């Protein structure tokens, strides 16, 4: 009876206080997650308020919250969704997560923390909060490609978080870190996941479909939750976290195609226990520890905001999202949340971290949760400002880069091209894997080699260490060069698909845009491969060495990128002249007319399919400058040329004021051009597109 009384008392105190704080935060238009954390602080043992809940009881209940939260995330994740979000979200998430793990590790080591604590710190700040972003996006009614990109990045980040938890669990085993232990742990983890997923895919989807088709909601919820807890218990029995098992259970149920029906049933139960989980997070906050570690809190808060804005923006831009969307996505993802608590709690439970990291993670999450709505609200103006301040060649490149990637996705690939691309991808991944293995193996065996050389060869240990490191560096050099060259070869192969060269001995008119595309894709590939390699090997190599190698490659690619952007600007100016001449010639032709731009893509490849837009007297764009309208910054499309009267304004400046009767040639992705048409004409894009494309150009 006493145990029952304590359980009932704990649930009553937690839920009643959480109800009051969440209503208050809802009234203040703040994320309710902060209300739960405040409730935990109130009922916790560290604040002198006579509403203390039994901590062990709440922790047991919060474990159920973790399991259900991860199960729900697994329901939303599926292989189909991962394919849909495509390389854009994957590239962005990998670059951002690698940068944050690296920065977190460096900051932890600077504060004197151990290597494991620093690794956990990097993992804590690497993953953004799905719960917080979903609530804020719903409150601010954010839709469209920004939401699709952010949700896609979050899906990939959730998968990265699961892998991080599994790897950190293996590295935090009591056997210590050694080459043999690392190899055994990795093989054991891979075997466990492969067996669980393989058997699960054969059994679970069919079983779930059969249960759902019975039409009994209570049977569905009992069966799926039971499977969730069973898988979590199985993962724990093999030495992994219950969160890993719950996530896999959710993803297996999601593959049944009935995830929506299951999610609707699980949602109320998940919300209840997730609330208890966030309250338990607040109970672990010790204000004294936060005060004692105020500097790490401030540093990691700055790293989360600055690092995520930079990492996501760069990744999204390189993936072809455009300047505006990339900056908005970066400012939207600048926070940490539920996965950070889970990872920090995992480190505490495994004994890999001391008790200071958890409160620091919670404090950083609370601060960044408060700043996120403000960052999202001002993301649009900041993105427009960044776009205006970019050099003109970069602006032109940004507008056309998306069209090249769009063409790359749309063009069918020949068997020889596909085989070449596949081979280069395999070689690139192989070189990266060999480089990681070489670095880690050399570090683990360094002491043994030094001792062997000292005992058997009579060489001092210092000399043996130096020779071993020099030998490993000699072997690593070709691998680094190979990664750079393979990235270039793969970039060239992809560029040849998007912008094929002119055959038959004719001049290669696509040379300038193809060179810009090659350099940019090569830069993206070097970041995509190099940053994870640095994140994986950072505990084993001097920081300056990794930074020097990657920094040198990036500087070289940056110089090449700038030169190719300048050449592209000249290519675009020539194209603008051709466009103006075509539009002027068409304007004087009587009768039914076409745009006259059909051959521009043939004469000057890389400009996409320019679309003419004629401004009527009542157009909302008349009398405004391009800077006031923000055509490129708002839509991502670029105005290549303006025809006015019998002349033209080639590659107009931002201060160019539009007049009635002007014809604008727009370039960009189909989505960007449609948005620009709507902005210029005031008509919905669906209604405006057909009239604009078919409108006669005669005055």
CATH of the domain at 222: 1.20.1530.20
Q: Is residue 693 very low, low, confident or very high in pLDDT (cuts 50, 70, 90)?
A: very low
* 631 and 485 co-located in one domain: no
Best-predicted range by mean pLDDT among 32-46, 49-63, 261-275, 299-313?
299-313
Range of the domain at 590: 578-694
CA angle 531–535–540, rounded 5-degree value: 130
60 within a domain of the structure (yes/no): yes
Q: Which of 686, 671, 684, 588 is nearest to 637 (CA)?
A: 671
pLDDT at 301: 93
d(CA 393, CA 566): 6
Same domain, 363 and 487: no
In this prediction, residue 696 carries a pLDDT of: 33
H or E segment and range at residue 600: helix 600-603
Do residue 522 and residue 417 come from a single domain?
yes
Give the orientation angle of helix 242-254 with respect to helix 55-76, to 10 degrees. Answer: 30
For 283, the token pair is 């109970």
Alpha helices in 111-178 (DSSP H): 115-124, 130-139, 145-171
- HEC sequence for 464-516: HHHHHHHHHHHHHHHHHHHHHHHHHHHHHHHHHHHCCCCCCCCCCCCHHHHHH
Can you say whether the dihedral through the CA atoms of 49, 291, 311, 481 is positive or negative?
A: negative
Assigned domain for 402 exists: no
Rounded CA-CA distance 490/428 in Å is 9
Q: Is residue 362 part of a domain?
A: yes
Phi-psi sector, 148: left (phi>0), alpha (psi -120 to 50), beta? alpha
Count how many domains the chain has: 3
How far is Cα of residue 172 from the mean position of the Cα atoms in its chain?
27
Alpha helices in 214-293 (DSSP H): 217-237, 242-254, 259-283, 287-292
Q: Are 232 and 333 in the same domain?
A: yes
DSSP state of 645: T
Q: Quote the pLDDT of residue 305.
A: 93
Check if the beta carbon of residue 525 is closer than 8 Å to that of residue 429.
no
What CA–CA distance (Å, rounded) separates 201 from 194?
A: 11
More confident residue, 507 or 404: 404
Mean pLDDT of 76-90: 68
Residues 203 and 308 in one domain: yes
Instruction: Using the predicted structure, report yes or no on whether residue 694 has a pLDDT greater than 50.
Output: no
Q: 272 and 147 in one domain?
A: yes
Contact 496, 482 (CB under 8 A): no
- Could you tell me if 364 and 445 lie in one domain? no
Pairing of strands 663-667, 611-614: antiparallel
Decide which of 536, 562, 588 is a domain's last residue: 562
Q: Any idea what the CATH number is for the domain that residue 668 is in? A: 3.30.70.1450
Per-residue pLDDT tens digits for 526-559: 888 888 888 878 777 776 777 787 788 788 888 8
Q: What is the pLDDT, as a whole number, of residue 304?
A: 93
Nearest of 572, 625, 210 to residue 388 by alpha carbon: 625
How much is the pLDDT for 14? Answer: 83
The verdict on residue 400 lying in a domain is: no
Query: Is 155 contained in some domain?
Result: yes
SS3 state of residue 390: coil
Q: State the SS3 of 647-692.
A: EEEECCCCCCECCCCCEEEEECCHHHHHHHHHHHHCCCHHHHHHHH
Structure tokens at 122: 């990097």
425 and 347 assigned to the same domain? no
- Which of 26-35, 160-169, 374-383, 588-597 is predicted most confidently? 374-383
What does the pLDDT look like over 456-501, one tens digit per residue? 666 676 777 777 777 888 888 888 888 889 998 988 888 888 888 7
Residues 554 and 634 grouped into a single domain: no
Estimate the crossing angle of helix 392-410 against helix 670-681, to 10 degrees.
Answer: 120
> pLDDT of 416-468, one tens digit each?
778 888 898 899 888 888 888 888 777 777 767 777 666 666 667 677 777 77
Kindly state whether residue 569 falls inside one of the protein's structural domains. no
Tell me whether residue 422 is exposed, middle or buried, using C-beta atoms within 10 angstroms of its C-beta: 0 to 12, 13 to 18, 19 or more: exposed
Mean of the per-residue pLDDT values of the chain: 79
**End position of a domain, from candidates 534, 562, 590:** 562
Supply the pLDDT for residue 688.
43
Per DSSP (E only), the strands in 523-585 are none
φ, ψ dihedrals at 624, nearest 5° = -115, 150
492 in Cβ contact with 518 (< 8 Å): yes
Q: What number is the average pLDDT over the span 291-301?
A: 90
Q: Please give the structure tokens belonging to residue 203.
A: 């059994």
Say if CB 81 and CB 251 are below 8 A apart. no
Compute the distance between CA of residue 645 and CA of residue 580 in angstroms, rounded to an integer. Answer: 11
Q: Are residues 237 and 116 in the same domain?
A: yes
567 within domain boundaries: no
In terms of average pLDDT, the best of 277-286, 297-306, 336-345, 609-618 is 297-306
Domain boundary among 389, 421, 445: 389
Verify that 348 and 452 share a domain, yes or no.
no
Report residue 644 CA to chain centroid gap.
43
Residue 370 and residue 435 in one domain: no
Give, to the nearest 10 degrees, the angle between helix 338-350 and helix 55-76.
Answer: 130
Residue 395 falls inside a structural domain: no
Above 90 in pLDDT, residue 299?
A: yes
Cβ burial of 459 (10 Å; 0-12, 13-18, 19+) is: middle
């Amino acid at each position: 009876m006493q145990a029952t009384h304590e359980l009932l008392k704990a649930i009553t105190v937690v839920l009643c206080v959480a109800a009051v704080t969440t209503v208050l935060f809802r009234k203040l238009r703040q994320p309710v997650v902060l209300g739960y954390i405040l409730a935990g602080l109130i009922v916790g043992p560290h604040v002198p308020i006579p509403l203390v809940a039994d901590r062990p009881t709440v922790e047991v209940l919060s474990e159920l919250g973790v399991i259900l939260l991860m199960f729900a995330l697994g329901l939303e994740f599926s292989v189909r969704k991962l394919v849909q979000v495509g390389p854009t979200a994957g590239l962005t998430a990998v670059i951002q997560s690698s940068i944050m793990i690296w920065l977190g590790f460096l900051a932890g080591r600077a504060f004197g923390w151990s290597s494991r604590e620093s690794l956990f710190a990097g993992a804590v700040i690497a993953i953004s909060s799905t719960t917080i972003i979903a609530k804020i996006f719903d409150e601010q009614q954010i839709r469209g490609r920004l939401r699709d990109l952010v949700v896609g990045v979050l899906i990939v980040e959730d998968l990265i978080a699961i892998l991080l938890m599994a790897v950190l669990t293996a590295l935090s085993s009591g056997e210590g870190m050694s080459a043999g232990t690392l190899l055994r742990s990795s093989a054991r983890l891979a075997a466990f996941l492969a067996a669980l997923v393989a058997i699960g895919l054969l059994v679970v989807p069919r079983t779930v479909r059969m249960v759902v088709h019975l039409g009994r909601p209570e049977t569905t919820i009992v069966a799926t939750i039971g499977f969730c807890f069973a898988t979590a218990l199985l993962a724990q029995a093999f030495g992994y976290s219950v969160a890993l098992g719950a996530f896999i259970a959710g993803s297996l149920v999601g593959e049944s195609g009935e995830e929506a029906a299951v999610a609707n049933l699980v949602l109320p139960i998940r919300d209840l226990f997730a609330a208890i989980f966030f309250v338990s997070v607040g109970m672990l906050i010790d204000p004294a520890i936060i005060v004692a570690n105020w500097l790490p809190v401030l540093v990691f808060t700055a790293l989360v905001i600055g690092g995520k804005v930079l990492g996501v923006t760069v990744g999204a831009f390189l993936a072809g999202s455009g300047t505006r969307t990339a900056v908005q996505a970066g400012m939207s993802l600048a926070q940490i949340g539920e996965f950070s608590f889970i990872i920090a709690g995992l480190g505490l439970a495994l004994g890999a971290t001391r008790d200071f990291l958890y409160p620091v993670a919670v404090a950083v999450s609370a601060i960044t949760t408060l700043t996120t709505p403000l960052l999202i609200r001002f993301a649009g103006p900041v993105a427009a400002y960044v776009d205006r301040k970019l050099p003109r060649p970069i602006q032109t490149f940004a507008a056309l880069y998306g069209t090249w990637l769009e063409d790359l996705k749309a063009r069918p690939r020949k068997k020889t091209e596909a085989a070449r691309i596949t081979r280069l991808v395999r070689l690139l991944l192989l070189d990266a894997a060999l480089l990681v293995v070489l670095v880690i193996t050399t570090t683990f065996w360094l002491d043994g080699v030094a001792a062997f050389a000292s005992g058997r060869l009579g060489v001092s240990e210092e000399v043996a260490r130096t020779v071993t490191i020099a030998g490993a560096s000699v072997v690593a050099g070709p691998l680094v060069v190979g990664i750079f060259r393979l990235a270039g070869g793969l970039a060239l192969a992809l560029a040849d698909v998007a912008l094929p060269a002119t055959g038959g001995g004719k001049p290669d008119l696509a040379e300038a845009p193809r060179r810009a595309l090659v350099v940019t894709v090569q830069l993206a590939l070097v970041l995509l491969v190099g940053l994870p390699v640095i994140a994986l090997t950072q505990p084993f190599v001097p920081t300056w060495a990794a930074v020097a190698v990657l920094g040198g490659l990036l500087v070289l690619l940056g110089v090449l990128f700038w030169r190719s952007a300048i050449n592209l600007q000249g290519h675009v100016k020539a194209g603008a002249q051709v466009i103006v001449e075509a539009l002027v010639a068409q304007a004087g032709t009587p009768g039914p007319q076409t745009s006259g731009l059909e051959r521009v893509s043939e004469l000057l490849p890389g400009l996409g399919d320019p679309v003419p837009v004629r401004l009527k007297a009542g157009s909302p764009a008349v009398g405004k400058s391009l800077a006031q309208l923000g055509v490129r910054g708002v839509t991502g499309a670029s105005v290549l040329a303006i025809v006015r009267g019998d002349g033209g304004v080639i590659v107009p400046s931002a201060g160019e004021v539009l007049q009635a009767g002007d014809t604008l040639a727009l370039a960009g992705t189909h989505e960007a051009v449609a948005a620009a048409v709507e902005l210029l004409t005031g008509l919905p894009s669906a209604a405006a597109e057909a009239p604009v494309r078919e409108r006669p150009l005669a005055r």
